[in-house]
Structure 1
Amino acid sequence: MFELQVEKMTCGGCASRVRRAVLSLDDAANVDIDLAARRVRIDADVGLEELKAAISGAGYPVTAVRAL
């Protein structure tokens, strides 16, 4: 499980796009988004670099990562 700091998430639409980006890699992933803190917790069968690339590719830069 990873906790990522994701910038530019400002609304529910942003959170939905981030969630879809993760689920496009692993449709069984558990994605928990704290919009106010701009934190995303992800439990998925995908590597960290793939997750970061998908979220960044959706337009939301990942600025910090913490393994949980």
Structure 2
Amino acid sequence: MQQFKVSGMSCGHCVRAVTQAIQALDQAARVEVDLAAGLVHVEGSLDAAQIQAVIHEEGYEVVPA
């Protein structure tokens, strides 16, 4: 499972946007978003660069852990 620190997420819409964007590339991906901690956990076939790019495309920033 990969973990990303993401800034800018604040609500249920953010959770859905990030989850749907990742699952658009990998339908079988398991995505868990922890809004309070600002973390996105992804289990699937995508590499870190792909996940970071799609999160960025949704308007959120992946910050170094």
For normalisation by structure 2, the TM-score amounts to 0.94
Deviation at 1:36, TM superposition (A): 0.8
| 2:21 is the counterpart of 1:16 | no
Deviation at 1:44, TM superposition (A): 1.1
Letter in 2 for 1:22: I
Alpha-carbon distance between aligned partners in 1 of 2:60 and 2:44, rounded to the nearest angstrom: 19
Return 5+ residue gaps in structure 2 as ranges: none
Cα deviation digits, residues 16-65 of structure 1 (max 9, x gap): 10101110110100101111111011001011101100000000111035
Q: Percent identity?
A: 35
Which piece of structure 1 moves more, 20-29 or 56-65? Answer: 56-65
Letter in 2 for 1:44: G
Alpha-carbon distance between aligned partners in 2 of 1:15 and 1:6, rounded to the nearest angstrom: 11
Alpha-carbon distance between aligned partners in 1 of 2:64 and 2:30, rounded to the nearest angstrom: 19
Count matched residues. Answer: 65
Runs of 4+ in 1 over 6 A off after TM superposition: none
Alpha-carbon distance between aligned partners in 2 of 1:57 and 1:34, rounded to the nearest angstrom: 19
Alignment of 1:1-68 (within 5 A): 1-64=1-64
Which one has a larger percent helix, Structure 1 or Structure 2? 2
